[in-house]
Amino acid sequence: MKIATGLSVIASMLLASNAATAANVDANKSKAAAQPAQKKVRAVNVMTPEQAKASLGRSACVARCAVN
Amino acid sequence: MNAATILDRIQTPDTHIDGRTVVVAGVPQGLLVPSLFIAKPDEHGRTHVYGSKGVGACDVGDPESVWAALIATGGVLFGTPDDIQAVTALLAAPRTSRTVSYLCAIAPDCGAVARAIARLAESRVLVLGAGGIGSMISMVLAGSGVGHVTFCDGDVVEASNLNRQFFYGPSDVGRKKVSVLAEAISARYPDVQARAVDGMVDLDNLPDLMRGMDMVVIGADEPPHLASDAARLAHSLGIDSISCGYVHAEGALTFLSHRAERIEPDSTVQWMRVAGGAMPSFGPANVELAGIASSTVVLNLCGLLSAAGDDLQNKWPTYELPRRWHTDV
């Protein structure tokens, strides 16, 4: 079975699916590219190690990394 | 008629399958995913294609029907010729073949798989704890292709650990866990930078340990506030974290994205695992938790966690499956 392009229906179906996948991936990339603004806002809030430690409200916690 | 015969019969003059590469008019278009399964046809020639996105029925006597099922179920992972070639090479390499097989079932295209493997190799993960959960996570991450794994623990191997901490043997009893684990990882994966930190962690050294990490895994449960403190520290430093553990027969995982605006109190998913309950140090619970946590870490590092259908912020519908199983039972 041939279609106008000279390719079979199956070949056309695969090419169309590949193109649709690529378009969808590109769309998601564009969407992700729009997110850095949001990430940037979050990044401003990133603390230094000293600030992070102080934010926990305790001077020290001795954690034994052991069981299980 | 087996799967190979079915795939052979659906080829046309302009569409053929070379190995697992789908070629149209001489140009590679995609790969048959390694996890693809085609069931034996029934007496009417109907068969089921099990792809990465689902299951589809088709008529083996109708090539168009089979191809449609392969496409609809995610049996074909599309991509550019270069990306297809790169993934084919990664699938052929013993060091990467199984991780790539796994990623092929989740990634949107071949390019995403190739990029994911490169990102894993550059990734740095800190694992707190080298016991039944932490040691296994460290080893699995190294095996998955994570390039840098740092693990910390202050304990020595005890004879009672051997039932579930499989990288320690009888001859290791009395030795530092992190030393034995570093040797085990380096022996198996010399390309991985395995850094052992021997000793206690506290608020003074945790920030330094986390510096430069892409993700923190909390696999230790003493004292009780370690998980929350470490997760909050990681969040403050802009690092994703995951903590895992269990209470009696309930497993629990908590993923916290560095992008989360605030630390949600309900970001933990819990599920009942073993009917009748199990003691906390019973081996299988560690294995399951370590497996799920490792998979989550790998997907997150690859940027594919959302592609797996999971909510980056808190909820993991995928992990509700075991709970439903339990309910059904």
Query: Which pLDDT band holds residue A56 (cuts at 50, 70, 90)?
Result: low
Interface test with A, best of B222, B225, B306 (most A CBs within 10 A): B222
Q: Which residue of B has its CA nearest to A24?
A: B108
Q: What is the pLDDT of residues A9-50, one digit of tens each?
A: 999 999 999 999 999 998 888 877 776 554 444 444 566 777
- Say which range, B32-41, B172-181, B229-238, B298-307, has the weakest mean pLDDT: B298-307
pLDDT reported for residue B321: 35
Phi, psi at residue A16, to the nearest 5°? -65, -40
- What stretches of chain B adopt beta strand conformation (E)? 15-18, 21-24, 27-32, 37-38, 46-50, 55-59, 76-78, 124-128, 148-153, 193-198, 201-202, 215-218, 240-247, 250-256, 268-272
Q: What is the pLDDT of residues B144-189, one digit of tens each?
A: 999 999 999 999 999 999 988 999 999 999 999 999 999 999 999 9
Mean pLDDT, all residues of chain B: 85
Cα separation, A39 vs A20, whole angstroms: 28
Contact list in B for residue A59 (CB cut-off 8 A) is 203
Residue whose C-alpha is closest to residue B127's, from B324, B252, B297: B297
Residue among A18, A51, A58 minimizing CB distance to B203: A58
Contact list in B for residue A21 (CB cut-off 8 A) is 78-79, 108-109
ipTM of the complex: 0.80
Q: How many Cβ atoms sit within 10 Å of the Cβ of residue B39?
A: 14
To the nearest whole angstrom, how far is the Cα of B309 from the nearest Cα of chain A?
A: 14
Q: Are B78 and A21 in contact (CB under 8 A)?
A: yes
Cα separation, B135 vs B220, whole angstroms: 10
Whose tokens are 């052992």? That residue is: B196
pLDDT reported for residue B232: 87
Over 80: is that where the pLDDT of B39 sits?
A: yes
- Three-class SS of residue B3? helix
Residue among A28, A38, A55 minimizing CB distance to B236: A55
Whose tokens are 């997907």? That residue is: B299
Over 90: is that where the pLDDT of B127 sits?
A: yes
Whose tokens are 């995951």? That residue is: B242
To the nearest whole angstrom, how far is the Cα of B85 from the nearest Cα of chain A?
A: 15
Amino acid at B183: E
Q: Are B307 and B107 in contact (CB under 8 A)?
A: yes
To the nearest whole angstrom, how far is the Cα of B15 from the nearest Cα of chain A?
A: 6
To the nearest whole angstrom, how far is the Cα of A23 from the nearest Cα of chain B?
A: 11
Over 80: is that where the pLDDT of B239 sits?
A: yes
pLDDT reported for residue B287: 84
Tell me which H or E stretch contains A26.
helix A9-33
Entry pTM: 0.84
Which chain A residues in 25-64 lie under 8 Å from chain B, judged by CB atoms? 25, 28, 38-39, 42-43, 46-47, 49-53, 55-56, 58-64
Q: How far is CA B233 from the centre of its chain?
A: 24
Q: What is the DSSP string of B261-321?
A: SS--TT-EEEEE-STT---TT-HHHHHHHHHHHHHHHHHHHHT-TGGGT--SSS--GGGGH
Phi, psi at residue B133, to the nearest 5°? -90, -55
Measured on CA atoms in the order B13, A19, B301, B316, is the torsion positive or negative? Answer: negative
Size of interface A-B (CB pairs under 8 A): 160
Contact list in A for residue B230 (CB cut-off 8 A) is 63
Taking only Cα atoms into account, the Rg of chain A, rounded to an integer number of angstroms, comes to 26
Phi, psi at residue B318, to the nearest 5°? -55, -40
Phi, psi at residue B137, to the nearest 5°? -60, -45
- Domains of chain B in start order, with CATH, are 3-105 (no CATH), 117-328 (3.40.50.720)
Query: Which pLDDT band holds residue B201 (cuts at 50, 70, 90)?
Result: confident
The token pair that represents A62 in the structure block? 């001795």
Contact list in B for residue A43 (CB cut-off 8 A) is 238
Are B10 and A10 an interchain contact pair (Cβ–Cβ within 8 Å)? yes
Query: Which pLDDT band holds residue A65 (cuts at 50, 70, 90)?
Result: very low
